Structure formats: structure tokens, C-alpha cells
Structure 1
Amino acid sequence: MTIRCLAVDDEPLALDIIESYISKLPFLQLVKTCASATEAMQVLQEEKVDLMFLDIEMPELTGIQLLNIMKNQPLIIFTTAYPDYALEGFNQDAVDYLLKPIPFDRFVKAVNKAQERLQRSAKPALEPVPVPAAAPAHEHEFMFVKADYKTIRVDFKDVLWIEGLKDYIIIQTTDQKIITLLSMNKMMEKLPESRFLRVHRSFIVALQKIDSIEKSRIRIGKKEIPIGEVYKDQFVKWVEENNIQ
């Protein structure tokens, strides 16, 4: 990438130094040197400029004033003998702020910053690569719960029903009863919706384990589970969708 540069300074010696430094870096191309901000404005209207080395204290129009009236300005590296303007310089989104006399290594560092910024802006915007969402719990065949000072694996296929007791829940499986500190709402988040349904404020049932439905009660083995009024419509809808009545 060739960077087209403009140097603006009312001091001839300062312009000579900038011109000399530019000539030493093959990726920089000097478009012109200007002794005033008004001259620079004319050049900017006629030429493509990627980077401008700009003095601040100049007669008629300062470097800051030039930037305030410019549209579509190039990248700016300030070159000045006055450190007091540093804050104002960075408020103008300058690439860098070089204090005279400017060492060559400091000049190169500033130019490298400009090159990096130009390279970033030249890259075409890439569409974000979609990040696969973390698999929800129900895409697995099991969950883990904490009980008896350990973490226990519970296979969904073994769960018969879940009963809520204030801050605790009982998970009844085919071969054990697990008591854990968890809310019913949090438990529902862990369960696959297609296999479990909340039928009462205190009960979640494994739909595939239902043996029979008797009015407002569900029977799983010898266990009778009430169907709450709040959850009745959702349960009836599930029954209708599965054509079991």
C-alpha cells in the first residue's frame, strides 16, 4: 500500500526534514509540501491525500482551524514545537502528535500507526461468522443436579415426575429419589419441553411415563398427580395433539 502524503508547515526547515524522512520510506509518496493551511486546502481539493503532516501554529489559519473547516480530511499526524496542543490534537482524532525536533525513529512509529489504520479501513467489511449457540440442556439426554454434597447425573429417560417442596424439589426416577435445592422454574429450564410438562404448581411429569388420565389427575405407576387449573389448558392441548383421547 502506497500512502500519499502532504506536509504542511510554515517553517522551510521543518518541511525539508519531513520531506527527507518521507523519501526514506518506500511506502510513502510525497504529493506536495505546503507553507500554509490555505495552500494545503487547495492541494486537498485537487489531489488524493491519505496522510497529512500538519503543523499547528501557522499564520492566517492554524492547523486546528484547518481541520475544523475541512470535509473528508485525510489521516493527520501533528508536527509542532508546542506540547500544549497535545490534548486538542488527540481530540481531532489525530494518528499521532510529534514534537519538534522530530527524531526519525519517532516519525517511523507514527507512520506505522497511520499505515495500520489505513489497512484496517481498506479491508472489506466481513460478514460475522455465526457462532453456534450453546446446546440447550434438552438436546442432551441427561442433566446434573447437586444433592447430598455431590453432583449427580440424572438421565431424562429415568425420570418419572418432579415434585416441588418450597425451596427444594424431589426428582423421582425409576430407581431413586433425589432431593435438591432448586426452584421449579429453574428445573423446567433444564428439561426438554417435548418430554416434560408442568401440570401443577408443585408437579412436573415425564409425558412418556403417564399411564392414565382420570379427570383432573394423572397416574404414573401408583402415584396420582393433580392437574392444576392454571396448567389444565396446556395439558389438554398436549393430549389433543397426541390423539390420546
Structure 2
Amino acid sequence: MKVLQCLIADDEPIARQIIENYTKEIPYLEVVKTCKNAFEVMSYLQSNTVDILFLDINMPKLSGISLLKTMQQKPHVIITTAYPEYAVEGFTLSVTDYLLKPFSLERFLQAVGKVMQTTSIQQDTVVIEQEKKITSVYVKSDKKIIKLDLDEINYIEAYGNYIKIYTEEMILTPITLSDFLEKLSSDFIRTHKSFVVNFNKLKMIDGNQIILQNNSKLPISKSYRKIVLDRIDKV
């Protein structure tokens, strides 16, 4: 499952923290940036992309609505606000959902679910075509560019802005785990915030550990356990 990168924009620290805490309950969400005002959002999006923008309306200097009007291309936008009167205008600007503070985790999940529905519809055809083709990837290591067959990879470990790819040997390459996961086939699943495993290499699950065919033992976190078990049920 694709991990959706999220940006939170709210001038209230408590509001930012609540949203960030909610995202931690959802394995396929990752907060990459929090912003205190619209200008920080604009600055970040000039050189970065995100999948979801959680956007407050009442922010200093430039409101969330005004920010949306300046954006020609925007991610999925979920408005989070205490002001119901902007709902109509928000939806005319093609926001995905409009959450009124204080909102529950259940309501938050509903809003994120709308994004997932849209994302799945957009990606289904592409994924079906690509799954037949993705058998290898190219990775940078030192001054080399190495072609790796996906079948060679046992698992991948996050290492800051790098990852460690474990085949018969370990390869260190400068890319984040989330970004590298997007290059892989659906045979690779996240089992922990810091680990992705080749599902075909799975030998057993023992408590809170995954054991691979080469007897490597990796953690499986509570938040990702259901995803792994659901995948096993489909085999």
C-alpha cells in the first residue's frame, strides 16, 4: 500500500499535534511537514509534493481559503477548522472534506478514506500494467549505479535519508524508505516504520517478529500487523 505523505497547516500547536497524533494511528499516513501559516506551506510546496494537505482556515496574514485560491495544482485538501461558514466555498475549491473542530478520530478516518478511494481509482489501471513489468530497480551506491533484481532483495531498512537494502550483502543508497517503496512491486510490504520486507521471502510470524527464509528476524509493529495478516489471508 502506498504511504501517503501529509502536510499539516495550522497556527495552533495543539491542533497540529492532534492531527499528527491521529495520523500515527493510520499506518499508510506519514507527516512530512507541519506549518504554522500559509506562507510556510507555499514555501514547502515550491520544491516538494505531498498527497494530503490538512489545512486550517483562520491563520494569520493569509487564510487557508486564500491560499487555496493561489494554488494552481494542489494535493488532496482536507480542511480542519472551527468555522462552518466556509464549507460551501471550500467545496467549490475542490477540497476532499471539511472537518469541524473538535473532530473525532472516526471522523478523521472518514475524511482520509475519501482520499484513499480517489487514489485507488486513479492508480488501479496504472498498477495493473506496471505490476507485470517491475522486476528490477537501479540504485546508487557510492559512485556506482547497481541493477537489482527484486527477487534478490530480502528486506529494506530505513537509515535516516538513506536505506539499507539487504540481499546476500548490504547496499547503502541515498533515498528515503517511503520513496523507494514507490519504486517496488506489491510483493514488498511495510511491516514497521523502519522496515519493508519482500513478502515472497516470508517464512513465519512469531509474536512481534517476522522471520524470513534466510532466518533474518525483523520487528512487526502493531500498526502494520493487520496489513501483513490481511495480505497473508489473500494468498
TM-score (norm 1): 0.50
- Residues 80-131 of structure 1, C-alpha deviations (whole Å, 9 max, x = no match): 0001111111111111100001111000010010111112122337xxxxxx
Over the aligned positions, Cα root-mean-square deviation in angstroms equals 1.5
- Percent identity between the two aligned chains: 47
Aligned to 2:118: 117
SS of 1:94's partner is coil
Gaps of 5+ in 2: 127-235
Aligned to 1:81: 82
Aligned to 1:214: none
Aligned to 1:18: 19
Task: Give the counterpart letter for 1:109 in structure 2.
Answer: Q
Aligned to 2:93: 92
How far does residue 44 in structure 1 lie from its aligned partner after superposition? Answer: 1.0
Task: Give the counterpart letter for 1:80 in structure 2.
Answer: T
Distance 2:103 2:34 in 1: 17
Aligned to 2:148: none
Show structure 1 runs of 4+ deviating over 4 A: none
How far does residue 50 in structure 1 lie from its aligned partner after superposition? Answer: 0.6
Larger radius of gyration: 1
SS of 1:49's partner is coil
Gaps of 5+ in 1: 126-245
Q: How does 1:1-245 map to 2 (within 5 A)?
A: 1-124=2-125
Task: Give the counterpart letter for 1:37 in structure 2.
Answer: A
SS of 1:25's partner is coil
TM-score (norm 2): 0.52
Q: How many residues align?
A: 126
Distance 1:43 1:57 in 2: 19
Q: Which has the higher contact order (CA 8 A, sep 6+)?
A: 2
Distance 1:123 1:48 in 2: 21
